[in-house]
Structure 1
């Protein structure tokens, strides 16, 4: 997850009386600028956004240390800065013009508006291209990282390089694309590539763990819902390739508050996504589907040396190799799976696999090691049944 908190401390020493009006401006990188106008009575403080785009909104928490100054506001002081115009904060008046005076300012800020109210009538698009189907590998209140302020976050299991599309129109307010490393280590928490898009209601969409150089928009761009914005990856604090998506707004502690959202899916126009369910963009005339599993999601795959499934749809193996019978259910459940494996034209007793699907797995699979026995060369057949109903027959060749 991305934590965009910024801190700047400014010190100024003032002696006696200001002889003439004098304006200074100090900016934090490309985010917030403090404007001080000094005169014989004291200092007038204003804040503006560095970026002059009228859509830019930042929430700021301001603190001050004062010696020989008085003001009519108390600190910490909260303010939302919208657009390019400076926001007046206060006048710091010299208490005794014959004495030295000291002041320092510090502030924290986060993009977005902490007073924003999410438009719950919005139905978000799935943040990937049409034709892609993927599972939610961690949903709301997920036990790995989706708790506390990040409780309403969603992780989509997408391979590295999958196109990422905007789920809602808005304005690009921040991006990062320089990182290349990913892993489940705390030092990588701040090293994920991301895109932050501000919405019309002041909330923000966060698309995180993108691939290195996987951002195709820039700060200041206006994007439409469904527009290509980048490519998924495996950077930052992650257990594997996926796209992290959340809608949030800043809170008064300058952390984020994630917001529950509804999506347009194959099930409905307003769907709440669930962990381990598979989702895709709705297809008119086809969806919603009623099956628990689609025929195309029953496959023979190769088992890699790292014991990962690869080359799904493979139709030829060699003696001594391993293969997987893989099933991806649209909806998780306790389905009973039975697989009978035989060799055409040979009288070997069919190999039988049977198990009950687990609800907390992204996919179901059982692997088989092909013995290095020349008698097993031939055309193999795997008959797959789910809950007693035949779903698919798979064929593949085993060669010497």
Structure 2
């Protein structure tokens, strides 16, 4: 943001303000000696904190300060920067101000004693599809971000209490395209220690809080989506603060999970809120995470829980494990009373993945019409039997 003004002599004080949308205002108090400069937050809420990088261009003015200047503006009280004094009152003078703003406090120190709640409701299980140091987008300044693989419309809850600093909910498109980098819906919540929690890729109109709200940990704040720069539906969560270059610096965090009150989340692991008196931390896979799914023409999974297919279609036997491991998976697929040899699938899971699947093509043979049975065993233990029908 840039402001430039030709300066004349003033017989009395003259106060002007130049504001940058919803972030900050430059307050200039002019008299015949020069200009006093202050910075205030546009939003007068006492919780609002912004970090500002301020620069100036001066002709016929002097100041003892060296620019650029770094300043943190907290609450409604203006921060005095300096007074620029006229050097020669008989000559014209010129000044211009430029500044950049980033929400938050670059001098903040994260309260590492805080254990964050998982940012979704009780009863939901979600997998970390990209964790710290993720190869897709979680590197550089975003190295400590987490992506939870949850469907569009999943309720999003605050992981920590704080003040709603900013929101966006107007976008509807998502995809792995650079032009969508700035088009994700989000909620930014400022915490008591000055750091910020960012909840991103929310659905259109999927924000249920507003700027200025105080929210409690666990409170519903919005609904997940697939907007902005994304390869599929998920919730992006990070805690960050600005640095002196006005860039985001993400901060490592711990969470309350089924494993621990202070758990560092791992890529491809599934997490859920702990429930008192219930210990499911030793479960390898849940019954509902063994599914028959429909595939499209590109053999992409598009719908699970299917019970009816047609001749010539493909289907997927999908197993989503709680955590990666070298599980042995055996799947027997047979048709009722048709005399066909069962299809046998037998493989060892990839230790670096938590989703295992094999696809099967249904031949275009009328003899295959009828009821099919899928028997799934993991590490020698029968886990589930599924049925579906094949139609012409």
Determine if the TM-score, normalized by the shorter chain, exceeds 0.5: yes
CA distance in 1 between partners of 2:177 and 2:364 (Å): 41
Q: In the alignment, does 2:131 pair up with 1:133? A: no
Q: Which residue of 1 aligns with 2:260?
A: 268
Provide the C-alpha distance between the structure 2 equivalents of 1:385 and 1:329, rounded to a whole number of angstroms: 13
Return the offset for 1:299.
Answer: 1.5
Task: Give distance in 1, aligned partners of 2:345 and 2:371.
Answer: 19
Alignment of 1:192-341 (within 5 A): 192-341=184-333
2:46 aligned with 1:54, yes or no? yes
Deviation at 1:266, TM superposition (A): 1.2
1:27 pairs with one of 19, 28, 51: 19
Helix, strand or coil for the counterpart of 2:141?
A: helix
Which stretches of structure 1, 4 residues or longer, exceed 6 Å deviation after superposition?
none
Whether the 8 Å CA contact 1:266–1:282 is kept in 2: the answer is: yes
Gaps of 5+ in 2: none
Q: In the aligned structure 2, how far is the partner of 1:218 from the partner of 1:305?
A: 42
Q: In the alignment, does 2:155 pair up with 1:168? A: no
1:177–1:194 contact (8 Å) kept in structure 2: yes
Q: CA deviation at 1:252?
A: 0.3
Indicate the RMSD between aligned Cα atoms, in angstroms. Answer: 1.5
Deviation by residue 1:195-242 (Cα, 9 ceiling, x = unmatched)? 111011100011111111111111111111111111111111111111
Equivalent residue for 1:12?
A: 5
Matched with 2:374 is 382
Q: 1:91 aligns with which of 74, 83, 107?
A: 83
Deviations 1:305-331 (A, max 9, x none): 342334422233333332211100000
Rounded to whole Å, the distance in 2 between the matches of 1:70 and 1:87 is 20
Task: Give the secondary-structure state (helix, strand or coil) at the position aligned to 1:293.
Answer: coil
Tell me, in whole angstroms, the C-alpha distance in 2 between the residues paired with 1:200 and 1:75.
30
**Aligned-residue offset at 1:189:** 0.9
Distance in 1 of aligned mates of 2:356 and 2:107: 45
| Contact 2:322-2:354 within 8 A present in 1 as well | no
Contact 1:183 1:238 in 2 (8 A): yes
**Contact 1:112 1:203 (C-alpha < 8 Å) held by counterparts:** yes
For 1:130 and 1:303, the matched residues in 2 are separated by 30
The C-alpha deviation readout for 1:344-387, integer Å capped at 9, x for no partner, is 33432221112222244452111112223233233322221222
**Contact 1:192 1:235 survives alignment (8 Å):** yes
Deviations 1:94-152 (A, max 9, x none): 12222222111111110000010111111111111111111111100101110000000
In the alignment, which of 101, 108, 114 is matched to residue 116 of structure 1?
108
1:105 aligns with 2:92: no
Tell me which residue corresponds to 1:4: none
Residue 333 of structure 1 contacts residue 358 of structure 1 at CA under 8 Å; is this kept in 2? yes
Alpha-carbon distance, 1:288 to partner: 4.0
More deviation in 389-398 or 25-34? 389-398
Give deviations 1:52-73, integer Å, cap 9, x for gaps. 1000000001101111211121
Q: 1:251-282: CA deviations, max 9, x gaps? A: 00000110001111111111111111111111
Aligned residues: 392
Does the 8 Å CA contact 2:325/2:353 hold for their aligned counterparts? no
CA distance, structure 2, for counterparts of residue 67 and residue 327 of structure 1: 70
Q: In 2, distance between residues paired with 1:104 and 1:399?
A: 75
- Structure 1 122/288 Cα, relative in aligned 2: closer, same or farther at 3 Å? farther
Unaligned 5+ segments in structure 1 are: 1-7
- Which SS does the other structure have where 1:296 is aligned? helix
Would the aligned equivalents of 2:50 and 2:101 in 1 still touch at CA under 8 Å? yes
Q: Distance in 1 between matches of 2:147 and 2:331?
A: 31
TM-score by length of 2: 0.96
